[in-house]
Chain A
Amino acid sequence: MAAAATCGTSAGNKGCTAAAAAAAGGKNNVTSFQRKGPRASVPDSGCARLVSIAGTRPSVRNGQLLVSTGLPALDQLLGGGLAVGTVLLIEEDKYNIYSSLLFKYFLAEGVINGHTLLVASAKEDPADILQELPAPLLDDNCKKDFDEDVGNHKTPESNIKMKIAWRYQLLPKMEQPGPVSSSRFGHYYDLSKRMPQELIETSKWHGFFFPEKLSPTLNIEPCSLTHGYIKLLQFIQNVIYEEGFDGSNPQKKQKNILRIGIQNLGSPLWGDDICCTENCDNSHSLTKFLYVLRGLLRTSLSACIITMPTHLIQNKAIIARVTNLSDTVVGLESFIGSERETNPLYKDYHGLIHIRQIPRLNNLIYDVSDVKDLAFKLKRKLFTIEWVQDNYLRQERNIYPPGFSYLLKQKDSAWGEGSLQHSTFLMSFLAKTAAFASRLVRHSEPLEQTDSRSILQAAGPGVWRDGRRQEAPGLLAIPP
């Protein structure tokens, strides 16, 4: 209170006194609004106690505890990260090249943050999977790696100043990779190197290799769930209960996150025949598995990534059910073998990434990305996600008014010609153009010719101040 007194006497200003008193009160705990508990004095623990777990942070939007997927660009697309207690489903690409990268990123992020891992696979030994995790880029001397990997794709074309479609300059930038310290949320990994052996050895992990757990002599009693799924659920449940990841048993030690990774779920190697026949007897076993798994996750400090060969699943209804039962769904579509591989529109990319579903957690809205056309590229060391912005579209945006390039792009997108969305969009576009034109007329200075023809001309984009039409190449011509 001494500070307040001196301030008040010297300045003689009431406002200053009040402010200083408030500040002093906050400092000296005079106010009755104070935080309970002994940890209030520690400056770091002002937030929720959960933040003390390494590699997590609360969501800005809904307060959920988030973990990183290991790929900061994907974190950004999913609304900051993957919420603890939710399932991230990756729809595999045809040859399972890129989806296994995402799988490994997720596990590597867990190794770096000291999370416990649970790796389940029916095809590869989990120990082998861990050996192939990518190496983290932690030091500042990795900067040059980024420069050579990231910087070289910058084309001079990309800095064209947009004259007409200035709106596109305001598009949000994708997360650019940069070297980070080990304390940050989300790290970058070098795919050309393997994770150092000592890091893997210090990490705690549980492996579930299905062929090892499968006992051929055992006669399996008929059950609603496939044998492999039951075994896996029991294994996950055991780990969660015994290691104390569930909230019901108070953890004695430091709280930690369990990262669960399940590879090729639904493939025939798990004993599930949804990939083989369209109408199979146990078509519900996958959905039941996901339902039980979600229940386990919701009540524990764990996050799960599942890769699933959805292109092999014969019955499309199962895919819809699986999507509904997962929280976040990301689809990968590689260009290998498809006609898009030779399409110059996509020549810079290796595939498309589709954000199929984002969970609504604790609120009605959800973080959905503004831009839908996302492509991924596998560089020498990094897996990056970018907006599809090729030179054609960039040029075309420069020529056309905003909205028109969007219209053109719909030609090769999902909207069918003459569909409802298509016609709705056309209508709204035409209405906007009309409004644009009428605004031009209203704001233009008095015209020398006042007949209606000049007003009609004014609706065109190539209008000069005196109402004379300037012929410009490349500009949209109004049909007479």
Chain B
Amino acid sequence: VTASKGAGQGSRRTLEMESVWGLGGLVLLRDSVEWEGRSLLKALVKKSALCGEQVHILGCEVSEDEFREGFDSSINSRLVYHDLFRDPFNWSQAGEALPGGPLGALRALCRRTEPGPVTIALDSLSWLLLHLPCTTLCQALCALSQQHSPLGGSPPVEPVRVLGLLHMELHGPGPMGALSSLAQTEVTLSGTAGQALAHILCQRPRQHPTHQTQCFSILPDFSLDLQEGPLLESQPHPDPHIPPVEPTTHLTFNLNLSKKEREAKDSLTLPFQFSSEKQQALLRPGPSQATSNIFYEPDVYDDLDQEDPDDDLDV
């Protein structure tokens, strides 16, 4: 029973990963020095290629050979590598470099014509962010991931998936926030004790964002191995270290009254409450009123005016 249950859970996890995967739009892979994300990027690229998609890679940080290393030929045939690594500023003028620099390459990717779903991998966004103004890059990314067919009237375009590798340490909160606001999915890599973790934050348009934490490992042939661990599934808040707030902890009064205490509380007549007995006591000219006196002792420093203040009135 446990085995089948575990298998069920595993498949559900995979399905969730798939649903994240099938959304399209911009997927940010945020890695750090300890947990590099290029292998995850390559794994995702392989997955797309296996699905029969056309994969464009804008390579800035590694050479084409290095990127293609480890893929078999059937996958390599589906990869179109746009090389910005060899000649980023188009100095050689040999004609094989990309015209227009990185921005021109991005815009050329926008104007793709072939039908079918497409995955575009940007390796890496950090390099682009350091070479292009942030606003220009954001605009280009938005145009890339939306791809409203400019001709108009054409059938709806299949979702374009843009994978962007982003090195977290290199950028301040401003560019990170700007890119996050554009992203459909953010995958943040971290790990504990040699086990890589992916925090997946998925923003569907006009829906609640969902958090998910996933254990994974990349096999040598760049296939993604999702593992199930004793893991915090779809936590309400991403940081498990924040203890849940209990607003009743520091109260100075008792909220949990027992039934007896509550009765005692309810039977109490408050001093300002006007009850019928109080009314009776006030209306009855009883002896208690007669015995009450006003004791008044003037203070030494009181400025007492002997004159009648109202003597000018015609009373």
* A106-136 at interface with B (beta carbon < 8 Å): 122-123, 125, 132
Q: A339-B245, A392-B248 are in contact. Are A95 and B209 (CB under 8 A)?
A: yes
CB distance from A310 to the nearest CB of B (A): 11
Select one of A339, A399, A461 contacting B237, CB under 8 A: A339
* A372-400 at interface with B (beta carbon < 8 Å): 392, 395-396, 399-400
A95 and B203 contact, CB distance less than 8 A: yes
CB distance from A396 to the nearest CB of B (A): 7
B238 and A462 contact, CB distance less than 8 A: no
Interface size on A, residues (CB 8 A): 59
B177 and A342 contact, CB distance less than 8 A: no
When A and B form their complex, which 9 residue pairs have the shortest distance between CB atoms, in order from nearest?
A: A276-B134, A473-B261, A268-B138, A268-B135, A343-B245, A345-B247, A276-B174, A314-B174, A312-B177
A164 within 8 A of B: yes
Interface size on B, residues (CB 8 A): 52
Contacts of A271 in B (CB 8 A): 135-136, 139
A211 and B253 contact, CB distance less than 8 A: no
CB distance from B132 to the nearest CB of A (A): 11
A216 and B253 contact, CB distance less than 8 A: no
* A193-220 at interface with B (beta carbon < 8 Å): 211, 214, 216
B253 and A476 contact, CB distance less than 8 A: yes
Indicate with 1 or 0, residue by residue over A160-176, a CB within 8 angstroms of chain B CB atoms.
Answer: 00011000000000000
Select one of A97, A314, A463, A474 contacting B207, CB under 8 A: A97
B265 within 8 A of A: yes
Q: A211-B142, A275-B177, A344-B247 are in contact. Are A97 and B264 (CB under 8 A)?
A: no
Indicate with 1 or 0, residue by residue over B236-264, a CB within 8 angstroms of chain A CB atoms.
Answer: 11100010111110111111010001101
A446 and B174 contact, CB distance less than 8 A: no
Contacts of A311 in B (CB 8 A): 177
A312 and B178 contact, CB distance less than 8 A: yes
B153 within 8 A of A: no
A440 within 8 A of B: yes
- For B250, the closest partner residue in chain A by CB is A411
Indicate with 1 or 0, residue by residue over A84-118, a CB within 8 angstroms of chain B CB atoms.
Answer: 00000000000111001000000000000000000
B134 and A268 contact, CB distance less than 8 A: yes
Indicate with 1 or 0, residue by residue over B157-198, a CB within 8 angstroms of chain A CB atoms.
Answer: 000000000000000111101100110000000000000000
Q: CA of A342 to CA of B244 in the docked complex: distance in angstroms?
A: 6
Q: A268-B139, A345-B247, A392-B248 are in contact. Are A473 and B181 (CB under 8 A)?
A: no
B236 and A273 contact, CB distance less than 8 A: no
A267 within 8 A of B: yes
A278 within 8 A of B: yes
CB distance from B151 to the nearest CB of A (A): 13
Contacts of A408 in B (CB 8 A): 251-252
Contacts of B211 in A (CB 8 A): 337
* B48-107 at interface with A (beta carbon < 8 Å): 107
A400 and B237 contact, CB distance less than 8 A: no
B133 and A309 contact, CB distance less than 8 A: no
CB distance from A96 to the nearest CB of B (A): 7
Select one of A95, A100, A132, A440 contacting B271, CB under 8 A: A440
B292 and A395 contact, CB distance less than 8 A: no
B148 within 8 A of A: yes
A395 and B270 contact, CB distance less than 8 A: no
Q: CA of A387 to CA of B197 in the docked complex: distance in angstroms?
A: 40
B284 within 8 A of A: no
A371 within 8 A of B: no
A277 within 8 A of B: yes
Q: CA of A340 to CA of B253 in the docked complex: distance in angstroms?
A: 23
- For A275, the closest partner residue in chain B by CB is B178
CB distance from B191 to the nearest CB of A (A): 22
B209 and A473 contact, CB distance less than 8 A: no
CB distance from B158 to the nearest CB of A (A): 17
B181 and A472 contact, CB distance less than 8 A: no
Q: CA of A364 to CA of B20 in the docked complex: distance in angstroms?
A: 53
- For A270, the closest partner residue in chain B by CB is B135
Contacts of A337 in B (CB 8 A): 209, 211, 237-238
A462 and B237 contact, CB distance less than 8 A: no
CB distance from B54 to the nearest CB of A (A): 24
Contacts of A269 in B (CB 8 A): 135, 138-139, 142, 182
Contacts of A476 in B (CB 8 A): 252-253
A272 within 8 A of B: yes
Indicate with 1 or 0, residue by residue over B263-304, a CB within 8 angstroms of chain A CB atoms.
Answer: 011001011010000000100000010011000000000000
B112 within 8 A of A: no
CB distance from B253 to the nearest CB of A (A): 6
Q: CA of A446 to CA of B265 in the docked complex: distance in angstroms?
A: 26
B208 within 8 A of A: yes
Q: CA of A299 to CA of B135 in the docked complex: distance in angstroms?
A: 33
A139 within 8 A of B: no
A336 within 8 A of B: yes
Contacts of B265 in A (CB 8 A): 472-475
B23 within 8 A of A: no
CB distance from A2 to the nearest CB of B (A): 50
A341 within 8 A of B: yes
Contacts of A44 in B (CB 8 A): none
- For A444, the closest partner residue in chain B by CB is B271
Contacts of A472 in B (CB 8 A): 264-265, 268
